[in-house]
Structures are given as structure tokens and as C-alpha cells.
Structure 1
Amino acid sequence: MKQPNEKPTLKTIAQVTGLAAATVSRALNDAADISASTKERVRLAARQVGYRPNRAGLRLRTGKTRVVALVLNIEDEILGIVSPLLSGVAEVLEASEYNLVVIPETPAGDPLKPVMDVINNGMADGIILTRTQPYDLRVKVLTDRDFPFVTYGRTDMKIKHPYIDFDNEAFAYESVRRLAALGRRNLALLAPPPHLMFHRHMSDGFRRGIRDFDCMEMPLGDIDLDTPLQEVFNRGRKHFLSTHRADGIVAGSASASVALLAGLEQAGATIQADFDMVAKEPARFTEWIRPEIIAINEDIRGSGIALARTVLSIAAGHPLQSLQQVLFPSD
């Protein structure tokens, strides 16, 4: 057995499991001739003894890094996607021999740079992308280079690529339906930035609902889900004081809904009297802190689990029954 300050090795796992070191190595490398039960037994022992493979040596031997890169916008993380998405991805990777590296990006930065950094520096075996655009150059580059990847969101490209997405069109349509059922007819949408693909989906669902339920669209001004929350708050104050104000609001994120609501209330508005609001959220926080907001859940943690499983399967060369999945809203 290893000494207290000795780094765990394959021989340590072999001693714990009673298997040969060569069998342990093949199990950790997901060899096809090793049974699933043996692989799980070896992985459990590896976690228990704190074994971590030498990444540099592994890459030299196999050409693999056993790393998945998650490219993620981490700015203004309040009731947002970062924590639940990371939780879902990490749950899957923890049960595998892969580690996770988060590559931060900013809305104002070049979205291709993080991807090229991963490819050119050999940082990972697969990439998870977020914030897809209708024509997404990252998808083209990764496809052309046959690099394993999956996107959180669809594109409008002719390239058939793997994705997990939330049905933002269904969310917006259901939001309008609920507001119309409350007698609200002058509705506003706090939408994603126009260059992102889910802006189109959410806007399409909102406007289809406007038509079907005989409502009218009201402008919120030049704000979107990337707007700093202080500016969203300020817009809420101005909106209630305007002559063309909404009596129903659909908000594409929990944090934006809370900021907008705070601004409206500071200007003298009362929710459920002057207006109602529906918000998309990844958890139940708005129900706890502002139960007056009608919450529709996006299971971002579940999406993270699906994204991690998909990219691991692609990186391992395993066929998937479906490379594309759309997840639906829930209460």
C-alpha cells in the first residue's frame, strides 16, 4: 500500500482491487476488452485512493488528454446558467476518467479564440460550446477539423452537428398564454441579444403567442439579457413612467426579471395589480424570493449532464442514437 505522502499509482489501484496493473491501465483507458463492471470497480478504487493520471505522459502515450473544455461566459453570474451547468457536467465527468477545464469568454471578445486555443494547444479531447449563433464559425472550424464537440444551443447552418438545446420558442409561447389567461394584453419581451440563436427562437414563440392570443407587443427599449443589471433596473423605472407601458412581461432569465421588477416597483408599480411577469429560471430562487413572478423552469443541470455524456461518447468514438436533443420547459 502507498505511504502517507506517496502519490497513488496504477500499482496502488492494482493492490486495492487485486487486479494486474496492466488490467487497471486498460480499464482506466476504457479498453473494449475490459468488462463494464471491472471498469467501474477500477474507477471507484481510483477515486478512493485519489489517483490522478499524469496528463503529459498520458498524452504522449495515447494522444489523449482526458480533458473536456467547457467554453462559458461567466460574467454577471446571478441566478444564471454557470453553476447548474457546471454541476451537471461535473457529475458526469466525476464518474469518468475525464477532467474539466473551463475556458472563460466575454460577450465582447472573439468567440473563436477560446476554441482555437484549445485546438492549437492540445488542451482537451472535446469541447462544449454555449451561446450559439445562427451562423457559428466555431461550429464550422470544429467540424472541418473533425474535433469532438457539442453545443448548448442550435444553429441555422447546413452542418449537422451535435447539440442539446432548450425549447425557448415553447417557453415564450407558454409565457404569453399564461399572461393572456390573466387578462394581460400589452406584453413586452426581455429577450437574449439579437446575435444569438435563442433570441430568434424566443422571439418567434413570443410573437406567435401575441398573434394567437390577440395581444399587442410593447417595446422595452434597448436592453437584453446581456445588459448590466443596473441598466435593466433603470429601464424598469423608466418603462413604468412611459405612456406605452406593458401590463405583462416575459423575461428570458431570472436575474433580469428580478432587476426589472425592482425598477418597476421603485417607480410605483405593483406586480399582480399593474402587471404580471413570467420568467425563465434554472432553479426555484424566484419562487422563494419573489413568488409573484410566474416561473418556468429550464433544467440547466440536466442539460449539463446531457452535454457531458454526448461529448464523452463522441470523443470515445461511440455511436449515439441521437446527437441532437431539445429539452422542454417545466413548471
Structure 2
Amino acid sequence: MAVNLKQLAELLGLSQTTVSRALNGYPEVNAETRQRVLQAVRETGYRPNRAAQRLATGKAYSIGMVMPIAPGIDSDVHFGEFLAGLAEEAVKHDFHFVLNPSAPEDEEVTFRRLAASGNVDALFLAYMRANDPRIAMLKSLSIPFVVHGRSIGESRDYPFLDIDNTSAFYDATRLLIQLGHQRIALINGPEYLAFSIRRKKGMLRALAEHGLSLDEALVQHSLMTDEHGYRSMQPFLQHAQPPTAVLCSSTVLALGAVRAINQAGLKIGEDISLIAHDDVLPMLKPENFSIPLTTTRSSLRAAGARIATRLIGGILKRGDYPEQELWRAELIVRASTGPAPQK
């Protein structure tokens, strides 16, 4: 049977106040005592009384998020992987989630209600768009928040964690150009999302530097599923001047693109090259494709864990974290890229 606070304090030979302060991260409790308390918590299965803890500290020990419910979003494996990282870090600190589903048109109301409820100590925001109005709305609330991604066309005076999507697809496109490719296709995420806009921007920049342009007939924006990857790739291959290379915004999209390429009887890495962005999804490793994929890599799970660390650190007044972080994606060359085929 799990012990209560009084029993835990007696077991450790400490006062209940000291144990409570150790669990709540008060700086006057030294590191050795805090570690003793945490070890005893693990061994005894102690769980704090949330109601009493909230009265004592004014904290809910919860992170709030609004999950937009729309076709394709509620079953997005990418969002699930991000939440897994967030959850792994939250569990370490005995933090909870308050997850509010919301129709896109009701998001602002849902965020305001969540912030005013007192049930969360901080919020996080995802699925960033160009000129995203939710940034100003969150800044108007008296609650900490961190954004996963960045808006476009807004001042950047808000806390965020993002990957450098522009540089990632610039580097990927430049590699293809160095291999002799000139007709390069793009299978991207939804057109209104900021990461999609930046990835296309990076591609366009690399092409322009080499006097090349992007044929808009070779661009598709869609939800990031394997079926959409398949449907996007098929018309590219049937084009009068098909591409010799393709960039995919996800390994999930690439899974469908590879299926279309194989059905067309083409050899990846020889007849057509392919580069995908790898979010490090555990069930879809690029090295396990029939032809290992060249990728730009940045872990969504790691991003989720980092945002949880920043939010929880801010709530508990622990650590000193940067307000804004821009992670560089790693370009990993494998067998799916090769020289452009000779005419």
C-alpha cells in the first residue's frame, strides 16, 4: 500500500514541510535531501495529494494543450510521436496533461477557457501557420507557453522550439543538384502550415542559386500519409517530363511515393532519386526501406521532450533555458540518391 506524506516524512526522518518542499522543487532544499526524498518516493510508490499540493503551492502540475480535430489531424502519427516525447518527460516530474480537443474555428475560445480554468500551469501550441493569430492570443493570457514551430510574417518575440526547415530542404536540394538533377519534384505537407512553406522556400533558394526553377506541376501539398504520398507521386511519373528526383516532407509520404515508383518499374537511386524528412518515427526507419532513404533528420520525440523540460522547468523555477531554439536537421546520405540518369 502506498504511503501518505506523514508516513514518508517519518520514514526519512524529515519534517512533512521539508519533504513537501523537496518534491515541489524549492531551492532551499539541498540536492542530497531532494535525491533521498525522490528515491523514497520511487521505493514506496508515494503519490502527492493533488488537491492539498495545489492549495499549498498554487500549482496544478499540469500542461495544457489544444488538439485540433479535423480530417487527418486527429490520427496524425507525427503528432503522436511528439506527444510521446512530451509524456516521457512529464512522467519524470509527475506532471499531467490536460488535453482539450477543439474544432479549428473554436481553438481560441478553447485556449482561453483552458488558461482561465486553473487546471494547467502552462500551454503549448503546435501546427503553426503563416501570420498565426494564436500567437497574439496566447501572449494576451497570463500563463506561460512554448510554441512548437514558428509563425511566418510575425515578430518572433515569443518562446519557441523549431527545426530549420528552410536549411534542411536547401541542403537536400543542393545535394540533388550536385548529383546532376534539374527536374526535382516536391511532395509537401499542407500548404498553409509554416514548416511546409519554409521547406519549399529552402528548395526554391537552392534551385535559384543554380539557375534552375521549380515546375509547379511537380509540387503537391497534402496531409502526410502514405496514401497521399502514393497519389502525389503517380501523376509526377506520368508527366511528359517526369522528375529525376523527389523531395518528401515525411518518411510516411515517402512510403507511398516509393510504392508508386516501384509500381512504375523504376529503380530508386538509379532511375529516380528520393530524399525524405525523417522525424525519427520508430515504426518507419529510413534505413529499413528496400532502398535505404537519404534523409534530413530531426527527432519529433526529442522536440516533445525538450518542450516539456522547458515548460516544467519554468513552472518549478528550475534551470535556465533559452527562450528560442532553432535546431539544425542532419542530412544523412544513403542509397536512395544517385547521379541523375543520362538521357
1:44 maps to what in 2?
Answer: 39
- Single out whichever of 303-312 and 113-122 deviates more from structure 2: 113-122
Listed as ranges, the matches of 1:116-265 within 5 Å are: 116-156=112-152, 157-158=154-155, 160-219=157-216, 223-226=220-223, 228-265=225-262
TM-score, normalised relative to structure 1: 0.86
Match of 2:340 in 1: none
Q: CA deviation at 1:243?
A: 1.2
Amino acid at match of 2:313: S
TM-score, normalised with respect to structure 2: 0.84
Give 2:341's aligned residue: none
Q: Residues of 2 paired with 1:109 and 1:285: CA distance?
A: 35
The answer to whether 1:91 aligns with 2:83 is no
Measure the CA separation in 2 of the matches of 1:155 and 1:37.
43
- Cα distance, 1:63 vs structure 2: 2.5
Give the partner amino acid of 1:75.
D
- Distance (Å, rounded) in 1 between the aligned partners of 2:203 and 2:156: 27
Question: Which amino acid is 1:173 matched to?
Answer: Y
Compute the displacement of 1:146 (Å): 2.4
Output the CA distance in 2 between the equivalents of 1:13 and 1:59. 19
Provide the residue aligned with 1:23 in structure 2.
Answer: 18
Aligned counterpart, 1:65:
60
Contact 2:130 2:194 survives alignment (8 Å): yes
C-alpha contact (below 8 Å) 1:187/1:216 kept by paired residues: no
Structure 1 Cα separation of the partners of residues 146 and 76 of structure 2: 22
Cα drift, residue 81 of structure 1: 4.6
Q: Counterpart of 1:59 in 2: which secondary structure?
A: helix
- Cα distance, 1:278 vs structure 2: 0.5
1-structure distance, mates of 2:292, 2:217: 20
- Do structure 1's residue 325 and structure 2's residue 301 form an aligned pair? no
Name the CA shift for 1:239/1:206 in 2 (closer, same or farther; >3 Å): same
Letter aligned with residue 134 of structure 2: R
Contact 1:277/1:294, CA 8 A, preserved across alignment: yes
Which residue pairs with 1:82 in the alignment? Answer: 80
Pairwise CA distance, 1:41 = 2.6
**Secondary structure in 2 aligned to 1:39?**
helix
Q: CA deviation at 1:113?
A: 4.7
Which one is further off, 262-271 or 315-324?
Answer: 315-324
**Structure 2: gaps of 5 or more residues:** 333-343
Identity of aligned residues (%): 24
Query: Which residue of structure 1 aligns with residue 291 of structure 2?
Result: 291
Q: Residues 227 and 252 of structure 1: is their aligned pair in 2 closer, same or farther, counting only changes over 3 Å? A: closer
Tell me which amino acid in the other structure corresponds to 1:82: G
Question: What's the CA shift for 1:220?
Answer: 5.3
Given that 2:112 and 2:141 are in contact with CA atoms closer than 8 Å, whether structure 1 keeps it comes out as no
Which of 108, 111, 131 aligns to 1:115? It is: 111
Name the stretch that deviates more: 252-261 or 213-222: 213-222
3-state SS, counterpart of residue 115 of structure 2? helix
CA distances 1:201-227 after superposition (whole Å, capped 9, x unpaired): 212111011112343313356742425
